[in-house]
Structure 1
Amino acid sequence: MSSDSLPDTRRTLDVGGTQYDFYSLAQAAEDLGDIQRLPMTLKVLLENQLRFADDESVSRDDLQALVDWQKEGRSDREIGYRPARVLMQDFTGVPGVVDLASMRAAVEKLGEQPSKINPLSPVDLVIDHSVMVDKYGDPSAFKDNVALEMERNRERYEFLRWGQQAFDNFRVVPPGTGICHQVNLEYLGKTVWTREEDGKTLAYPDTLVGTDSHTTMINGLGVLGWGVGGIEAEAAMLGQPVSMLIPEVIGFKLTGKLREGITATDLVLTVTEMLRKKGVVGKFVEFYGDGLKDLPLADRATIANMAPEYGATCGFFPVDDETLNYMRLSGRDDDQIALVEAYSKEQGLWREPGHEPIFSDTLGLDMGDVEASLAGPKRPQDRVALSQLATTFEKLMEDEGKSAKDSRDDKMGSEGGQTAVGVERSYRHADSQDVNYKGEDFSLDPGAVVIAAITSCTNTSNPSVMMAAGLLARKAKEKGLATKPWVKTSLAPGSKVVTEYLAAAGLQDDLNALGFNLVGYGCTTCIGNSGPLPEPIEDAVKTGDLTVASVLSGNRNFEGRVHPLVKTNWLASPPLVVAFALAGNVRCDLDNDPIGEGSDGEPVYLKDIWPTQAEVAEAVEKVNTEMFRKEYAAVFDGDEVWKAIKVPESEVYEWDDNSTYIQHPPFFEGMGKEPSKVEDVKDAHVLAMLGDSVTTDHISPAGAIKPDSPAGRYLQENGVKPVDFNSYGSRRGNHEVMMRGTFANVRIQNEMLDGVVGGETRHVPSGEQMAIYDAAMKYQEEGTPLVVVAGKEYGTGSSRDWAAKGTLLLGVRAVLAESYERIHRSNLIGMGVVPLQFPEGEDRKSLGMTGDETVSIEGLDSLEPGGKVKVTIKGDKGEKTLDALCRIDTANELEYYRHGGILHYVLRKMIGAA
């Protein structure tokens, strides 16, 4: 097909005398068909396709598929999407920068100029995931926690500091500044992006992918963005398209207004519950309706933030006057604001009253129906009305007791005496414990709130709920109330602007009085960086096997996430976090029971200290543009400690062999300027044989590093004590740690071993059982290639780059499964591992596989997208040949695979060898 078939849509837009080139959606509609009622999100995707249309990576059929989506509200077409920029946080960003650094080292080895390797799309990395709440309730907490953070993470920060000065198109926001999503909302996001091209300024929608699922927060500003895995993000920053299906779009109609005393947090927990029940996994959600005119942008961002919790790819709010108001407040340039308004109106991306796009499906909410809410005890979609929390907790305790009793009855049989003992023991976990802490004696009871944290980008980005928390603290202090001594309190805003406006309103002092001192600018408790509980509290919880609680203004409360000893975790608005710190127990019915006793001896109820909407609005008036301009004036500079980090001003990173955080990965070892012939796989052994729905969480290293695991042994051999292990997340820049943690999940089940759960396998030649990593290294010494065999939906769940990277480094050449989750399939190809699919009607069970077989694969150098591959499986029962389906589905993917992976392909392209 010739380029004549592509519509000519490039036009010029005049904004206040400045000329911008743009790709006109109205012009495209004349050629492709009416798009007036196309969802806003799909208009953004259509513009993206128009801009990159070349009849190869983007064809006329791709454009037409987006327009024709309106006929049925769905499409099965896959498109290549190129976002304007990439956002990273430090845990997921470090391995991306490690890959860039190793690409430069490889280019130097090939005799080329290392500086040719740079991100092609702008990349911002915000260091926000490392600060922990070690110190709290003290004026020095922030300073002490930052010092501990720098001490623990110095190696990682030295590396990022080098990247900050070494790469073009790459900026680092230093630690102690804010959370990436809040910094994105308040400063980085532009709504309409521009770049210089052939002497002209091209304007287009601000779009991004981020290496954190809550990247969706920026959708509140009319910016289309969502979270992806590391390999996809690296592809995007190196100019490669992100492969995606044209999504279904669910319309969520908002009407009415929130009632007095109801917060944005209550609203988002209600929306999350509704959308989870609806079922929106893998879909876009787009908010519309006349209720938007009264919904502040900060409230929109709160709702957009929790898209991962309601299961959607994104939760998008269109551009309107409120968008412009927020951009003015947050200090965006007047010319930028004028461009956003003119461009959005010209392109049909501006929200008009009464506008109702065509959607795949819809649902709606009258915001006047929202009630005060929390969510828990372990899922963000499980909303509980505040009035029902105490009852919900009591039922939870009752169910736990019954479950424990039934379990014991099953084990003990039905003899009366034994059953009686079972009943007695089943409730023993509910015993209160006497504690002495800081000179106070008290009883720690079931339901005790041991953590109360104002944390997370979700709510700390919203001045109305933050001011409400401060006002409630002020009123509580005036009544003579105090935080209960067993509560670990913390305030971790998503940006320094929050500190500015709380101070301006005089409310930080009131929060300090209740122990909500600043502990850091970062994710903290919301990602499990809650730090230790005081020792007497921890001892009491363990001794009594107490079911205690955390209350946090975060977005996730999965079991074991906040703190390993805290069994129930409740998401709530910042003012409710303060309220529960005062009450001290989630069994307190705050609708009817007093929250405490005032200094006058009288009971104080929540309604006595809950701020009115008028009081909150008056406090929010203190937020002004100068606060944003002041805090973001030198956002990339960092404090004196950051500036003092010494880094060599070298184009190529000077790897430290002794580092246990950053190591030079072997991805490019032996790489030439031209790709080698792809060798067939001969007599490979099976490393693991896995069942259905094996997730990337099963495959990829995550969480704590066990001392007796391969990764734990490696760290100890390199002088790291278990107390200093940190987590797999913090060591993602060291392939030696990560490959040892691949397939090491404690819940993974390898069918090669009967009844064994965990990352073990059988080394077939010797018959010996060992850790999967140890077996892989043994096979490597023997020169034996490896395959993984699996069932249906292999690689479901989040896109985790180390699930593919670790697979490659263990020596796995191919995966043979019944079916794949799309993103992990793509990531395997991106790392040079071929995904093969059993023919219809065949699988490991029908073939009687035990894992002792050898597997040979022929024809890998003559692959075609979606073609067949000859697979020969030899075992004790004989030999079987299959025509397996090669799940390299597109020409682009095949190109990546032939080069040994996407990074190899891009590297060769950058030096002109591909």
Structure 2
Amino acid sequence: MAAVHPNSFKARKTLKVGARSYTYWSLGAVEKQVGDLSRLPFSLRILMENLVRHEDGTTVKKADIAAFADWVKNGGKSTKEINFRCARVLMQDFTGVPAVVDLAAMRDAMAKLGGDARKINPLVPVDLVIDHSVIVDNFGNSSAFKANVALEYERNLERYQFLRWGQMAFDNFRVVPPGTGICHQVNLEFLSQVVFQQKNGKETVLYPDTLVGTDSHTTMVNGLAVLGWGVGGIEAEAAMLGQPQPMVIPEVIGFKLTGKLKEGATATDLVLTVTQMLRKKGVVNKFVEFYGEGLEDLPLANRATIANMAPEYGATCGFFPIDGITLGYLKTTNRGTAAKIVEAYAKKQGLWRSKKSPEPVFTDTLHLDLADVVPSLAGPKRPQDRVPLDEASQQFKANMEKEFERKDDGKRIKCDGAGYDLGHGDVVIAAITSCTNTSNPYVMLGAGLIARNAAKLGLKAKPWVKTSLAPGSQVVTEYLEASGLQKDLDKIGYNLVGYGCTSCIGNSGPLPDPVTKAISDGDLVVCAVLSGNRNFEGRVNPLTRANYLASPMLVVVYALAGSMKIDITKDPIATGKNGKPVYLKDIWPSNAELQKLVDKYVTAKAFKKRYSDVFKGDKFWRSIKTKPTLTYAWDDNSTYVRNPPYFDGMGKVP
């Protein structure tokens, strides 16, 4: 039996939005007893509300809640341990499967003991998005997507059968099938509510949407003011079963943003700069919260890009509060009804950021003028090693001896039967991939415009470059096709290869045989350029020693150039069909061009179309043979999905 809520702060209140009334737990009521909380960081206000709502006198006590006022008085420090309960759990198909196996095993055990197996379900909502399995085996042609999907199902059928069974068998458990998108994009664009609505009998309770996920980049959704972070499988399973997550009230580092990005600077350039600064600062086990006038014009897609790389800059999360831009994004992504509730709730609870909001108390602060951000890459081995674009060529040449202990004598190795040769510094993978950038319409449409401009000049990706386009969600394909830019991407070699993490997690697939042989024969240091978040040696592909993180726009440029040794800021990228050299300025679009396309093609209609039947899946998913049985039909011959022995020999009485 659940403990009776003591309601120590008389915080249970009613909020009317339109014609409906909702229950909520008022932070204002707490403030009346503990003192001024107006300068408590927004991220901690969400944690505090969580405790107020779950107060039970045992796992959450009145003193735990009052400790947030002490945090402010102590200049952003506390030793108080609290118990946080997330609203939901996000999983992906690699790290999430063991948790589902455990649920299935519990059902088996319950049935064997004569109990009701239907009672075994997640106690908080769980969404599992299948995105980690597609591999770029095929690329650079119109049939690549279909061929890669067919191989994906062939390789993963047993796992998919199990997850499809789980989708049908469990309550509070949803599966987003393969080919939909990357879990963090789907979470950002569709799953997240910002303010959760929970039906309890005749009343509906409002509270902040929060989550933990079995993937480190769960942090991306903090760009939408949804507090969440990645955890291990055991922690996620505990959360799924209603257990709290113990934590000390964290320190919060305030990151002040002022000014605006300059012409030509992208969200990727910004996040690489932020990552470099925060790694230097040291923010492990701390929250980072962004504030300042720079937020006024920072699109939500760019906020999400910054929040995504919290694991790379070392923080638990990088949080952006609710404001008008949050509401605008909800409306654009076909969540206009939710936006009304979010606005009313946030303003009532002191969770709304505006120009008039008092500057929060932070444990420490940093400042960045957005006008100081310059086009950048990060590499060749670590995401925090930012390199200004105009220094990238010289840095690679210096690293040949410094990092790779090679002397570049300019030798080229012939690629047998291919009609080209290969040398040190050549880009052999140029991948538009990963959750970080691939649903940011500014850089994705930007990549399309670069492709259009390049195609007009007769340019294509160099023949030794393995290109791939793996959008973060199907909505990206919707606006690339609607704008006609997908055809331009196809022309230069960027055909759709799948919807998933692909090259960022090492699913880049094999390089063409002539390229592989040349790299081996010449012991070459070759490069990958990807729009991802991690570039450790050996992660992207075993053969790419140097790996650079970049915006999708720069990924396309490097595919056209074919080498890291070219200074693309001043040297010709390639030669056009008219025999004249083509420079970066000839193909790079203006910010005004990009904004015009975003305004025209990134619409609520596009999101509604692509997410209208998101859990149904494609014909492959629907054709998987499985039945909605109460317990899973384990295959004793399986070496992958097996019934764990945890409950063997267990009786009704421990």
**TM-score, normalised with respect to structure 2:** 0.98
Alpha-carbon offset, residue 432 of structure 1: 2.5
Letter in 1 for 2:394: T
Amino acid at match of 2:627: P
Corresponding residue number in structure 1 for 2:434: 456
Q: Is 1:211 matched up with 2:214?
A: yes
1:380 pairs with 2:383: yes
Question: Does residue 654 of structure 2 align to residue 672 of structure 1?
Answer: no
Residue 38 of structure 2 is matched in structure 1 by 36
2:493 aligned partner:
515
**Shift in Å at residue 341 of structure 1?**
0.1
Answer yes or no: is 1:432 the counterpart of 2:420. Answer: no
1:612-656 alpha-carbon deviations (Å, 9 max, x no partner): 111111211221111100000000000111101111221111110
Displacement of 1:198 in angstroms is 3.4
Judge conservation of contact 1:593–1:605 (CA < 8 Å) in 2.
Answer: yes
Does the 8 A contact of 1:429 with 1:545 survive in 2? no
State yes or no: 1:121 paired with 2:116: no
1:294-443 matched pairs, under 5 angstroms:
294-334=297-337, 336-354=338-356, 355-400=358-403, 403=405, 427=407, 431-437=411-417, 440-443=418-421
SS at match of 2:437: helix
Q: 8 Å contact 1:127–1:180 — kept in the other structure?
A: yes
Instruction: Spell out, residue by residue over 1:732-756, the C-alpha distance to the aligned partner (whole angstroms, 9 max, x if none).
Output: xxxxxxxxxxxxxxxxxxxxxxxxx
2:85 to 82, 86, 90: 82
Could you tell me which amino acid in structure 2 is paired with residue 19 of structure 1?
S
State how far apart, in whole Å, the 1-side matches of 2:427 and 2:142 are: 22
Give the corresponding residue for 2:562: 584
Letter in 2 for 1:454: I
Counterpart in the other structure of 2:580: 602
Aligned length: 649
Structure 1 CA distance, aligned partners of 2:439 and 2:228? 17
Question: Structure 2 counterpart of 1:44, which letter?
Answer: I
Partner of 1:571: 549
Question: Following the alignment from structure 1 to structure 2, what is the Cα–Cα distance between the partners of residues 564 and 636?
Answer: 35
Q: Sort the Cα spacing of 1:4 and 1:461 in 2 relative to 1 into closer, same or farther, 3 A.
A: closer
* Aligned mates of 1:648, 1:471 — CA distance in 2: 47
| 1:90–1:127 Cα contact (<8 Å) kept | yes
Q: Distance in 2 between matches of 1:65 and 1:432?
A: 65
Give the conservation status (yes or no) of the 8 Å contact 1:432–1:546: no
Identity of aligned residues (%): 63
SS of structure 1 residue aligned to 2:174: strand
- SS class of match (2:391): helix
In the alignment, is the contact (CA less than 8 A) between 1:429 and 1:544 conserved in 2?
no
Secondary structure of 1:201's aligned partner: strand
Which residue of the other structure, out of 627, 631, 634, is the alignment partner of 1:648? 627
* 2:616 alignment counterpart: 637
For 1:85 and 1:650, locate their aligned partners in 2 and report how far apart those are by CA, in whole Å: 25
**Letter paired with 2:47:** L
The aligned amino acid for 1:623 is: V
1:57 maps to a residue whose letter is T
Secondary structure (helix, strand or coil) at the match of 1:92 reads coil
Q: Secondary structure at the match of 2:102?
A: helix
Highest RCO, 1 vs 2 (Cα 8 Å, sep ≥ 6): 2
Contact 1:456/1:555 (8 A) holds in 2: yes
The one-character-per-residue Cα deviations of 1:228-280 (angstroms, maximum 9, x if unpaired) are 01111111111110111211000001110000111111111101111111100
Query: How far is 1:672 from its partner?
Result: 2.6
Which shifted more, 470-479 or 64-73? 64-73
Matched, 1:540 2:518: yes
Instruction: Map 1:182-197; keep pairs closer than 5 Å.
Output: 182-197=185-200
Q: Which whole-Å CA distance do the structure 2 matches of 1:670 and 1:377 have between them?
A: 53
CA drift of 1:74 comes to 1.3
Provide the C-alpha distance between the structure 1 equivalents of 2:389 and 2:457, rounded to a whole number of angstroms. Answer: 22
1:430 CA displacement: 7.1
User: Quick one: which amino acid aligns to residue 551 of structure 1?
Assistant: V
CA displacement 1:820-840 (0-9 Å, x = unmatched): xxxxxxxxxxxxxxxxxxxxx
SS at match of 2:424: coil
Report the equivalent of 1:477: 455
Equivalence for 1:662: 641
* Secondary structure at 2:89 match in 1: strand
Once the 2 structures are TM-superposed, how far is the Cα of residue 453 of structure 1 from its aligned partner?
Answer: 0.3
* Separation of aligned partners in 2, 1:233 and 1:539: 43
Query: Does 1:100 find its partner at 2:106?
Result: no
**Aligned positions of 1:770-809 closer than 5 A:** none
Q: Which residue of 1 aligns with 2:150?
A: 147
Structure 2 residue identity aligned to 1:205: P
Secondary structure of the structure 1 residue equivalent to 2:79: coil
Change (3 A) 1:365 1:536: same
Question: Per-residue CA shift, 1:195-233, capped at 9, x if unaligned?
Answer: 111311100000000100100111111100110011111
Partner of 2:29: 27
Distance 1:63 1:623 in 2: 42
Does the CA-based 8 Å contact 2:480-2:486 persist in structure 1?
Answer: yes
User: What amino acid maps onto 1:658 in structure 2?
Assistant: N
Residues 430 and 545 in structure 1, CA contact (< 8 A), matched pair in contact too: no
Counterpart amino acid of residue 451 in structure 2: A
The gaps in structure 1 that reach 5 residues or longer are 404-425, 676-914
Query: What is the identity, as a one-letter code, of the residue corresponding to 1:481?
Result: L
**Aligned-pair CA distance for 1:444:** 0.3
CA distance in structure 1 between the partners assigned to 2:515 and 2:369 by the alignment? 43
Ranges in structure 2 where 5+ consecutive residues have no aligned partner: none
Q: Give the letter for the 2:287 counterpart.
A: F
In structure 2, distance between residues paired with 1:209 and 1:517: 34
Which residue of 493, 497, 507 corresponds with 2:475?
Answer: 497
1:69 equivalenced with 2:75 (yes/no):
no
In structure 2, C-alpha distance between the alignment counterparts of 1:21 and 1:490, rounded to whole Å? 48
Tell me the secondary structure at the aligned position of residue 149 of structure 1: helix
**Structure 1 CA distance, aligned partners of 2:408 and 2:475?**
47
Residues 475, 4 of structure 1: alpha-carbon distance in 2 compared, 3 angstrom cutoff: closer
Aligned to 2:53: 51
What is the deviation of 1:600? 1.0
Normalised by the length of structure 1, the TM-score is: 0.70
Cα deviation code 1:369-413 (max 9, x no counterpart): 100000011111110000011111011112246x5xxxxxxxxxx
Q: Which of 1 and 2 has greater Rg?
A: 1
Superposed counterparts of 1:885-904, under 5 Å = none
Is the CA contact 1:430–1:544 (under 8 Å) kept in the aligned structure 2? no
Distance in 1, Cα, partners of 2:47 & 2:364:
19
Tell me if structure 2 keeps the 8 A contact 1:178–1:495.
Answer: yes
